[in-house]
Amino acid sequence: MNIETNLKTLIVKNPLKLDCGKTIKDFPIAYETYGSLNSHKDNAILVFHALTGDQYVSGTNPVTKKDGWWSYAVGPGKAIDTNKYFVICSNVIGGCMGSYGPSDLDSENGNIQGTNFPVITINDMVNAQYNLLDYFGIDKLFSVAGGSMGGMQVLQFISNFPDKSKTVIPIATTSSHSAQNIAFNELGRQAIMADSNWKEGDYGSNNSNPGKGLAVARMAAHITYLSKKGLQEKFGRKLQEREDLKFGFDADFQIESYLRYQGSVFVDRFDANSYLYITRAMDYFDLAKQFNGNLSDAFKLTKAKFFIISFTSDWLYPTQENKDIVIALNSIGADVGFVEIESDKGHDSFLLDVPDFLNALKNFLDKSYEEN
């Protein structure tokens, strides 16, 4: 990874006991902020990123030189308006953009940790990020928001810290990873581990990189982020820079070329072991199980106002799984709103320019803030 040295990092001194039993301390959390914290410190929004996201929510990502992953939603005048709100986002632990992860050195033996890095969970990620509140002197956030794995962190956050946010916005997410979700993640992990350059996770000290495996993992996952209709409309059976089929295994079709490109650029910015660890954390996520099978109990201590959003064409985290969270909240009389947004763009809808979604998000935040 080619990470710039001016990365903002908080070194967490407090020991953190992980779900796996191991305790970590003095570990880094890389973060970024947008907008400014007001004097009452009541305008902060903690954004949680998804599987392959990072702390660079908006503006230009200094590593990839591309737009931040949630640029459509976060920025001056946007749905999450940085003229009004102070947005904090940090790289999850297990990640590869400066937070404590498998490519970090083991403090005891100086080796790259690789698969000696502890298995982390969504709960661990959230508990690690909670240190940012103390760091910024924020007693209560105005909102916690995130889509996909970011949504899982949102749910875990308000469950762990029921009075630490006024509003809660889980988007295109689930309270429990389904068999299908786990299956797709396992496919990605197996692709990485099947690459001979993976070397049991020890590629860092062998100066190799399981790029092919990671690219295949990304290609497979990318398909799950789109809808059949969206793919058909964008690519159909269009051929890639050729008049006719070539009777070979080059990328004849545009969709093949597109996926190969997605795979190759991903390898440049993402660490294969991080991919293993983060997908594992998602698979282990089952909030209801943490409360003996009763999801409502995860939220019974919070007075926060929830707004849950799903998308019609999202088959990875379908509307019903989002509605299950709404039902759990309604059954304890929590303050919860819900909308399913019409979109052909699949699970990725929350990252894209989907005006109905962005308007709903903006209206919910701004109206809730006025009532503050």
Partner 1 sequence: MKNEFNVIADLIEKDKKVLDVGCADGILMKFLKDNKNTNIRGLEISKEKVQECIAKGLTVIEGNAEKDLKQFPDKSFDYVVLSQTLQAFLNPELVLNELLRVGKKAIITIPNFGYWKVRLHLLFKGTMPITKTLPDEWYNTPNLHMCTIKDFVHFVKSSNIKIFKSIALNKLNASLINERNLEIKNLSADLGIFLIEK
Check if 314 is active-site. yes
Integer Cα distance of 296 and 334 in angstroms: 9
DSSP class per residue in 151-166: HHHHHHHHHHSTTSEE
Verify binding: residue 111, partner 1, rule CB under 8 A.
no
- Is 148 labeled as catalytic in the residue annotation? yes
Which of 119, 182, 265, 339 forms a contact with partner 1 (CB under 8 A)? 339
Instruction: Say whether 49 is catalytic.
Output: no
Which of 186, 327, 353, 372 binds partner 1 (CB under 8 A)? It is: 327
CA-to-CA distance for 327 and 294, rounded, in angstroms? 12
Residue 158 CB, nearest approach to partner 1 (Å): 16
User: Which of 36, 320, 359, 372 is in the footprint of partner 1 by CB under 8 A?
Assistant: 359
Catalytic residue chosen out of the listed positions 81, 124, 314, 348: 314
Please identify which residue in 134, 186, 233, 342 interacts with partner 1, judged by CB under 8 A. 342
237 vs 367 by CB, closer to partner 1: 367
- Check binding of 13 to partner 1 (CB under 8 A): no
4 touches partner 1 by CB under 8 A: no
CB 59 within 8 A of CB 75: yes
Query: Do 142 and 45 contact (CB within 8 A), yes or no?
Result: yes
Q: What is the DSSP string of 49-112?
A: --TT--S--SSB-TTT-SBPTTTTTEETTSSEETTT-EEEEEPPTT-SSSSS-TTSBPTTT-SB
Strand partners, 146: 170
Q: Which residues pair with 17 in a beta bridge?
A: 23
By the rule CB under 8 A, 243 interacts with partner 1: no
Nearer to partner 1, 234 or 323 (CB): 323
The active-site residue, picked from 143, 148, 227, 343, is: 148
Smallest distance from partner 1 to CB 308, Å = 9
Reference 358, options 81, 46, 68, 159; nearest CA is 81
Stretch that binds partner 1, among 58-66, 82-90, 106-114, 357-365 (CB under 8 A): 357-365
Contact 328, 298 (CB under 8 A): yes
Task: Give the three-state DSSP class for 285.
Answer: coil
The correct pick among 46, 74, 221, 326 for binding partner 1 (CB under 8 A) is 326
The one among 67, 256, 297, 335 contacting partner 1 by CB under 8 A: 335
Among 122, 336, 354, 358, binds partner 1 (CB under 8 A): 336
372 binds partner 1 (CB under 8 A): no
By CB under 8 A, residue 368 contacts partner 1? yes
Which amino acid is residue 83, in one-letter code?
N
User: Which H helix or E strand runs over 167?
Assistant: strand 165-171
Decide: is 42 part of the binding site for partner 1 (CB under 8 A).
no
Cα–Cα distances in Å, from 131 out to 25, 136, 227, 277? Answer: 12, 9, 37, 21
Candidate residues 44, 47, 191, 341; the one interacting with partner 1 per rule CB under 8 A: 341
The region that residue 207 occupies, defined by phi over 0 for left and psi between -120 and 50 for alpha, beta otherwise, is: left
Q: Which of 338, 344, 346, 351 binds partner 1 (CB under 8 A)?
A: 338
- Under rule CB under 8 A, which residues in 286-325 are in contact with partner 1? 305, 307
Choose the binding region for partner 1 from 58-66, 193-201, 212-220, 337-345 (rule: CB under 8 A): 337-345
Give yes or no for residue 166 binding partner 1 (CB under 8 A).
no
CA separation for the pair 154, 171 (Å, rounded): 9
Closest alpha carbon to 94 in 280, 225, 239 = 280
Minimum CB separation from partner 1 for residue 298, in Å? 16
- Residues annotated as part of the active site: 148, 314, 347
Binding residues (CB under 8 A) for partner 1: these are 305, 307, 326-327, 330-333, 335-342, 356, 359-360, 363-364, 367-368, 370-371
